[in-house]
A and B are shown apart, each in its own frame.
Chain A
Amino acid sequence: MDLKYTDAKPSDAERAAVDGLLGPAPTGWEGGERDAADLRWAKGGHEARDRRDLLLPALHAVNDRVGWISEGALDYICRRLTVPPAEAYGVATFYAMFSLRPRPATVLHVCTDIACAASGSKRVTESLTTRLGPPGTPAGGAVWQESPCLGLCERAPAALVIRAGEVPEGEARGSGEDAGEGERGPSPGEGTGRQEAGSQGPGPRGGTGAEPPESLAPEARGAGAGGAAPGFGKGRDRGTPPTHRDRPAPATPSGTAAVIPATPTTAVVAPATPDSLVLAAQDPARAEHEPPPAAAVPQTGDPGLVLLRRVGTTDPADLDDYRAHGGYTALRNAFALGPAGVIREVTDAGLLGRGGAAFPTGRKWQGTASQPVRTRYLVCNADESEPGTFKDRVLMEGDPYALVEAMTIAGYAVGAHRGYLYLRGEYPRALDRLTHAAARARARGLLGDDVLGQGYAFDIEIRRGAGAYICGEETAIFNSIEGHRGEPRTKPPFPTERGLFGKPTAVNNVETLVNVLPILTHGAAAFAATGTESSTGTKLFCVAGTVDRPGVFEVPFGATLRDLLDLAGGPPAGLRAVLLGGAAGGFVRPDELDVPLTFEGARAAGATLGSGVVLVLDDTVDLPRILIRVAEFFRDESCGQCVPCRVGTVRQEEALHRIADLRGAAAAADVALLREVGQVMRDASICGLGQTAWNAVESAIDRLGAYE
């Protein structure tokens, strides 16, 4: 590999942003000052190329600091990581949150997706157009743009403000270093993630994100946080015979697996008004505080809750409080059972994946654990981007230690020593809480070389997505983590056989993993006693749209859609339809509300539970426009790899535009066209995105008579 770089130079801020992640460039070979000695030796090879997985964090670092990624910055990243510039350009242009053109430091992402569209996002965007100019036009140091679902559907319409720049001293988010024992975070009812991070106080290395990069010891950044040293990431898979514990290369004592330098100032504005958005654009730090996660859980305090029981009752920042509420019992039980015992319990409990595909979790773990390859990975899929879905956000914000514990158990069961938590880029508070939780767990020996003194090494690395729905696909997530474009891979081979870095990998959704805790706390039989025979346990549903009490609800499998709607304040007058399962799901008619919410019940009714979306639409909603929005979503989010999806989603959207105001015979030809295109997207697309892109539209035509 003989790479050619451009002559573009990074600015000081860009260089500092990258060096903050990777440590200063040690030699001229990696983009540092070149001296005569550099000409007498060469550096590179596999070791250098094996750091490619730091490409996405490096792009984030520059985008966070400067707001966009210049040619010089991209070139510098490429030199540091030995990545071909053309490929890095391809990766950077893949993600919606990055810009390769100059833009203001403040970007307002205004959600216009189905839940927000049903709650009047159009009024917001129209007003913003008047006050700030059309989307994409910089005005007053800010620019606004329309965004796919931000996962804030219970407070629709929603917006996210991101301001790039150095985080002011004292406001830095902990980058995972120990923030000191004993202090307490804010109680769940108060404060935003930003405040929480600020309140961590001066730990030994607290406030790292704000420190000038010069002060970062290269060994700490390079070997610990940055993962630059051989022996980290996939590099360590090569040539290192597993020890009896097959542990990962140690992070430095203060080091962390979390590759997160300073994050920008963010503000979540929901429900959003034009006024609040303009204010937040002027100064995101002064935007109205986000309500606590428990505000999204109308059932808070209900003793019957299983997955949500700690949300709102336990301090999400306090590890002791988590333990006082039953935390880490499951992990102790897991160690008592041994890996095979854990898998047996999970299998016996009948746990099915909650990410949408409903694959048996025990079988997935068994498939991973039984691979002869010793290095295995766990990936937690927290790239929750399905329009209308926000349950994982509420879990992660309200009970972050639960996910950390559950990932540890899953890692133990499949024999992984490193778990990647792939979190969508639009969840700043979840990032805060999880980073903090992982750091605290690490400081207490609940992550690291010797978890709970049991001789099992496990650590969690948090990876931020950058705005791409497709990265929630189980193989696209690997490509994204590895530093490639987030395009799905062809299956077979399946992830259990060849996944992340080509190693056996178990990929699980957040909600799936959190279910493991009650299974190991109370046993498989107790878990399976809830729900139905083939859908065991409880299920989280994201109820939004025209209901009185939107939010995340937990019900045992078998409850009907009507039961669920009653919890949310009852079906609205003039109920038109319920979108069940999200944009990849389907519509349920008002006369079908007694459909049991189980995997098999939904299937029998021609619907799917998908990711748990229950979007309630009354008859004031313009159904054809909602369908156009669904089609627009898939067209925007198609990775573009295969023809049926790349072109089919465009043709679908075009046809829906043509028939938006037509009915009956006038629409028939395009409906027939939609059916054929839809059939081929379903049959011939590479991955689930293309295969399901026609589901909601089809069900609106067939079940709601959308164009009759």
Chain B
Amino acid sequence: MSSVPLGLPRRRVEFELDGETVHALEGDTILDACTAAGKDIPTLCYGDTLTPKNACRVCVVEVEGARALAPACSRRAEPGMKVRTGSERARLSRRLVLELLASSTDLSTTPHVAGWIEEYGAEPGRFGPDAATVGDRGAKVDNDLYVREYGKCIMCYKCVDACGDQWQNTFAIAVAGRGFDTTIAVEHDGPLPDSACVYCGNCIEVCPTGALSFRTEYEMRAAGTWDEDAQTETTTVCAYCGVGCNLTLHVQDNRIVKVGSPHDNPITRGNLCIKGRFGYQHVQNVQGTE
């Protein structure tokens, strides 16, 4: 028998979304209301299991009477608010944010972004060939489990939050430096094995760009053998302990290439430990039969 926590009853908030009167529950964000209304707002730093940092600003909308645009993922719906999601100002900001990001970062493994770039008519190349980029920040491959590709990092803070007080409470990674030179770093920017990292891989789970990836995925991409279309996903129960976390096994050519966890599982919300995330080798350790 399972139970679903309902939480305290919440009041309804009435406000105007693109000229239509909509209702949201008190505490809901504009993005929640947009999702409920079937509106598609692009998001990058928003995470369904985390409190968003609203750092990417790709979800900005226009709130009537406000001087600046508001991040839909974080601004709570207020009674009487008038929100326009597709105004010219909002669309210009989204286009520019996409251009600024795509011109400075490698977004090749970021889901959805190619579609948004097309939808908003973004031209990342227009800042010229000399535009500063973080693309030349190389990958850090210093352990057997996962790889940090700094050129793909958009500084969304999700890995920091997942490692820190929102989920894992390990606090192995933080933001270091300032301005364009900020990076995600462990203490003293050293190698991962020397850090406080416990290899739960929850940072990989929340990374929106593929800057953090399984070593298997990184190597298969480098070898050109990574093929998402050929992969199957199977959700099963982790066999290691009695908690019963759900694992989603990504399998290609009959081998596990990556392990995720469903975000809607009320127990784990996408989080795993090192064994569930990375301890899958024994499943396919079929020596002598190959």
Interface residues of A (CB under 8 A from B): 1-4, 6, 71, 74, 84-90, 93-94, 96, 100, 468, 485, 490, 492, 635-644, 646-651, 654, 658, 673, 676-677, 679-680, 682-686, 691
Q: Which 4 A-B pairs have the closest CB atoms?
A: A84-B171, A85-B187, A640-B182, A90-B174
In the bound complex, residues from chain B placing their C-beta under 8 Å from that of A74 are 187-188
Q: Is the CB of A490 within 8 A of B155?
A: no
Q: In the complex, what distance in Å separates the CA atom of A649 from the CA atom of B179?
A: 9
**Closest beta carbon of chain A to B8's beta carbon, Å:** 20
**Interface residue from A639, A654, A691 paired with B178 (Cβ < 8 Å):** A639
Q: Is the CB of A636 within 8 A of B188?
A: no
Given contacts A89-B176, A677-B96, 19 further A-B contacts (CB under 8 A): A6-B194, A74-B188, A86-B172, A86-B173, A87-B174, A90-B176, A93-B178, A96-B178, A490-B74, A638-B179, A640-B178, A642-B56, A643-B55, A643-B100, A643-B101, A643-B154, A650-B180, A684-B57, A684-B60
Q: In the complex, what distance in Å separates the CA atom of A87 from the CA atom of B173?
A: 7
Q: In the complex, what distance in Å separates the CA atom of A686 from the CA atom of B290?
A: 56
**Interface residue from B89, B127, B169 paired with A683 (Cβ < 8 Å):** B89
**Interface residue from A100, A636, A676 paired with B179 (Cβ < 8 Å):** A636
Q: Which of the listed residues A4, A90, A684 has the most CB atoms from chain B within 10 Å of its own CB?
A: A684
Q: Is the CB of A684 within 8 A of B169?
A: no
Q: Is the CB of B97 within 8 A of A684?
A: yes
Range of interface residues on B (Cβ < 8 Å) = 35 or more
Q: Is the CB of B127 within 8 A of A673?
A: yes
Q: In the complex, what distance in Å separates the CA atom of A539 from the CA atom of B54?
A: 37
Q: Say yes or no: A86-B196 contact (C-beta < 8 A), given A94-B177, A644-B57.
A: yes
In the bound complex, residues from chain B placing their C-beta under 8 Å from that of A90 are 174-176, 185
Nearest CB in chain A to that of B74: its residue:
A490
Nearest CB in chain B to that of A83: its residue:
B171
Q: In the complex, what distance in Å separates the CA atom of A647 from the CA atom of B56?
A: 11
Interface string of B93-137 (1 = CB under 8 A from A): 100110011011000000000000000000000111011100000
Q: Is the CB of B179 within 8 A of A639?
A: yes
**Interface residue from B126, B132, B164, B176 paired with A650 (Cβ < 8 Å):** B132
Interface string of B160-175 (1 = CB under 8 A from A): 0000100001111111
Q: In the complex, what distance in Å separates the CA atom of A676 from the CA atom of B189?
A: 35
**Interface residue from B55, B154, B171 paired with A686 (Cβ < 8 Å):** B55
Q: Is the CB of A86 within 8 A of B57?
A: no
**Closest beta carbon of chain B to A136's beta carbon, Å:** 15
Q: Which of the listed residues B58, B97, B126 has the most CB atoms from chain A within 10 Å of its own CB?
A: B97
Q: B145 at interface (Cβ–Cβ under 8 A)?
A: no
Within 8 A of A (CB), among B243-280: none
Q: Is the CB of A647 within 8 A of B180?
A: yes
**Closest beta carbon of chain B to A662's beta carbon, Å:** 14
In the bound complex, residues from chain B placing their C-beta under 8 Å from that of A1 are 169, 171
Q: Is the CB of A3 within 8 A of B171?
A: yes
Q: In the complex, what distance in Å separates the CA atom of A251 from the CA atom of B185?
A: 38
Q: Which of the listed residues B103, B173, B196 has the most CB atoms from chain A within 10 Å of its own CB?
A: B196
Within 8 A of A (CB), among B79-93: 89, 92-93
Q: Is the CB of B57 within 8 A of A490?
A: no
Q: In the complex, what distance in Å separates the CA atom of A100 from the CA atom of B97?
A: 32
In the bound complex, residues from chain A placing their C-beta under 8 Å from that of B55 are 641-643, 686
**Closest beta carbon of chain A to B75's beta carbon, Å:** 8
Q: B71 at interface (Cβ–Cβ under 8 A)?
A: yes
In the bound complex, residues from chain A placing their C-beta under 8 Å from that of B93 are 644, 679-680, 683-684
**Closest beta carbon of chain A to B279's beta carbon, Å:** 20
In the bound complex, residues from chain B placing their C-beta under 8 Å from that of A638 are 178-180
Q: Is the CB of B97 within 8 A of A644?
A: yes
Q: In the complex, what distance in Å separates the CA atom of A71 from the CA atom of B179?
A: 23
Q: In the complex, what distance in Å separates the CA atom of A365 from the CA atom of B112?
A: 46
Q: Is the CB of A642 within 8 A of B187?
A: no
In the bound complex, residues from chain A placing their C-beta under 8 Å from that of B128 are 654, 658
Q: In the complex, what distance in Å separates the CA atom of A677 from the CA atom of B71?
A: 18
**Interface residue from B130, B172, B180, B188 paired with A6 (Cβ < 8 Å):** B188
Q: In the complex, what distance in Å separates the CA atom of A649 from the CA atom of B131?
A: 12
**Closest beta carbon of chain A to B265's beta carbon, Å:** 24
**Closest beta carbon of chain A to B215's beta carbon, Å:** 22
Q: Which of the listed residues A100, A638, A642 has the most CB atoms from chain B within 10 Å of its own CB?
A: A642
Nearest CB in chain B to that of A88: its residue:
B187
Q: In the complex, what distance in Å separates the CA atom of A24 from the CA atom of B178?
A: 32
Q: B181 at interface (Cβ–Cβ under 8 A)?
A: yes
Q: Is the CB of A2 within 8 A of B68?
A: no
Interface string of B45-65 (1 = CB under 8 A from A): 000000001111110100000
Q: In the complex, what distance in Å separates the CA atom of A300 from the CA atom of B154?
A: 52
**Interface residue from B127, B171, B178, B188 paired with A87 (Cβ < 8 Å):** B171
23 pairs, A vs B, C-beta closer than 8 Å: A71-B188, A85-B187, A85-B188, A86-B174, A86-B185, A86-B195, A88-B187, A90-B185, A93-B177, A93-B178, A94-B178, A635-B179, A638-B179, A638-B180, A639-B178, A643-B101, A644-B93, A650-B104, A658-B128, A679-B96, A680-B92, A683-B92, A686-B55
Q: Is the CB of A654 within 8 A of B171?
A: no
Q: B69 at interface (Cβ–Cβ under 8 A)?
A: yes
**Closest beta carbon of chain B to A475's beta carbon, Å:** 13
Q: B186 at interface (Cβ–Cβ under 8 A)?
A: yes
**Closest beta carbon of chain B to A621's beta carbon, Å:** 26
**Closest beta carbon of chain A to B161's beta carbon, Å:** 12
Q: Is the CB of B131 within 8 A of A651?
A: yes
Q: Say yes or no: A637-B179 contact (C-beta < 8 A), given A2-B170, A89-B189.
A: yes
**Interface residue from B60, B71, B96, B180 paired with A640 (Cβ < 8 Å):** B180
Q: Say yes or no: A490-B176 contact (C-beta < 8 A), given A654-B130, A686-B55.
A: no
In the bound complex, residues from chain B placing their C-beta under 8 Å from that of A691 are 68
In the bound complex, residues from chain A placing their C-beta under 8 Å from that of B58 are 643
**Closest beta carbon of chain B to A58's beta carbon, Å:** 16
Interface string of B187-212 (1 = CB under 8 A from A): 11100001110000000000000000
**Closest beta carbon of chain B to A656's beta carbon, Å:** 13
In the bound complex, residues from chain B placing their C-beta under 8 Å from that of A636 are 179
**Closest beta carbon of chain A to B68's beta carbon, Å:** 6
Q: Is the CB of A651 within 8 A of B56?
A: no
Q: In the complex, what distance in Å separates the CA atom of A646 from the CA atom of B134?
A: 12
In the bound complex, residues from chain B placing their C-beta under 8 Å from that of A89 are 174, 176, 185-189
Q: Which of the listed residues B58, B92, B96, B196 has the most CB atoms from chain A within 10 Å of its own CB?
A: B96
Q: Is the CB of B176 within 8 A of A93?
A: yes
Q: In the complex, what distance in Å separates the CA atom of A34 from the CA atom of B194?
A: 23
Q: Is the CB of B174 within 8 A of A84?
A: yes
Q: Is the CB of B175 within 8 A of A485?
A: yes
Nearest CB in chain B to that of A487: its residue:
B175
Q: Is the CB of A646 within 8 A of B155?
A: yes
**Interface residue from A71, A639, A680, A686 paired with B96 (Cβ < 8 Å):** A680
In the bound complex, residues from chain B placing their C-beta under 8 Å from that of A683 are 60, 68-69, 89, 92-93
**Closest beta carbon of chain B to A485's beta carbon, Å:** 6
Q: In the complex, what distance in Å separates the CA atom of A490 from the CA atom of B53?
A: 9
Q: In the complex, what distance in Å separates the CA atom of A295 from the CA atom of B84?
A: 54
In the bound complex, residues from chain A placing their C-beta under 8 Å from that of B104 are 647, 650
**Interface residue from A71, A654, A658, A686 paired with B54 (Cβ < 8 Å):** A686
Q: In the complex, what distance in Å separates the CA atom of A375 from the CA atom of B263?
A: 38
Q: In the complex, what distance in Å separates the CA atom of A549 from the CA atom of B97?
A: 45
In the bound complex, residues from chain B placing their C-beta under 8 Å from that of A684 are 57, 60, 68-69, 93, 96-97
In the bound complex, residues from chain A placing their C-beta under 8 Å from that of B100 are 643-644, 647-648, 651, 677, 680
Q: Is the CB of B196 within 8 A of A84?
A: yes
**Closest beta carbon of chain B to A629's beta carbon, Å:** 16
In the bound complex, residues from chain B placing their C-beta under 8 Å from that of A468 are 178
Nearest CB in chain B to that of A467: its residue:
B178
Interface string of B33-45 (1 = CB under 8 A from A): 0000000000000
**Closest beta carbon of chain A to B119's beta carbon, Å:** 17
Q: In the complex, what distance in Å separates the CA atom of A41 from the CA atom of B155?
A: 40
Q: In the complex, what distance in Å separates the CA atom of A195 from the CA atom of B185?
A: 43
Q: Is the CB of A654 within 8 A of B74?
A: no
In the bound complex, residues from chain A placing their C-beta under 8 Å from that of B174 are 84, 86-87, 89-90
Q: Say yes or no: A651-B171 contact (C-beta < 8 A), given A86-B195, A89-B189, A680-B92.
A: no
